Structure 1
């Protein structure tokens, strides 16, 4: 089974409100087996565009990643985030095929 990932790019407009969202989303993330692979660390943009923060969240499966976003717990947290930020969020299935030599 392939893992699932949230790839998130965010601009925070209301830092205190965003902190409330981050605290609230922890319940949904934990319930769906999520773990952070990258969270607001240093980054460069050699091509394209970005936002001020980037996060990658790993889930045990693609379905778990979808289920987390759709869960009542995350949807409640989302209501805290909407007025506090602008984001791009992609849910993607992991890859387990051939790799470069």
Structure 2
């Protein structure tokens, strides 16, 4: 079953850090089978908190998504932005109605 990283950014204090983080981790995430679906972009909030940025990555499995997140390479990349960025990040397994 496909799974998804969903990152909802509450605050970004340093855009340069976030940009460098994205440059470093994008090839790492792709090496675990991650496919970018949403990265920022135009949005409208109808209910709840309005996040400054939303990022969604699709993975071939829950296991691969967790392996990627817990990899030393990804965690080293996250170190670039984690002190200037506040986000809610979760990995969630998809489902099918078929």
TM-score normalised by length of structure 2: 0.91
Larger CA Rg, structure 1 vs 2? 1
Structure 1: segments with no counterpart, 5+ residues: none
Partner of 1:97: 97
Structural RMSD (CA):
1.2
How many residue pairs match? The answer is 97
> For residues 3 and 94 of structure 1, what CA distance do their matches in structure 2 show?
5
Q: CA deviation at 1:78?
A: 1.1
> For residues 21 and 13 of structure 1, what CA distance do their matches in structure 2 show?
13
> For residues 68 and 50 of structure 1, what CA distance do their matches in structure 2 show?
27
Give 1 or 2: higher helix fraction.
Answer: 1
Structure 2: segments with no counterpart, 5+ residues: none
- Which stretch shifts more, 23-32 or 66-75? 23-32
**Contact 1:13–1:85, Cα closer than 8 Å, also in 2:** yes
Other structure's SS at 1:82 match = coil
TM-score normalised by length of structure 1: 0.88
> For residues 38 and 30 of structure 2, what CA distance do their matches in structure 1 show?
16
> For residues 21 and 56 of structure 2, what CA distance do their matches in structure 1 show?
17
Residue deviations 1:21-45 (CA, integer Å, cap 9, x gap): 1111123202101111111011111
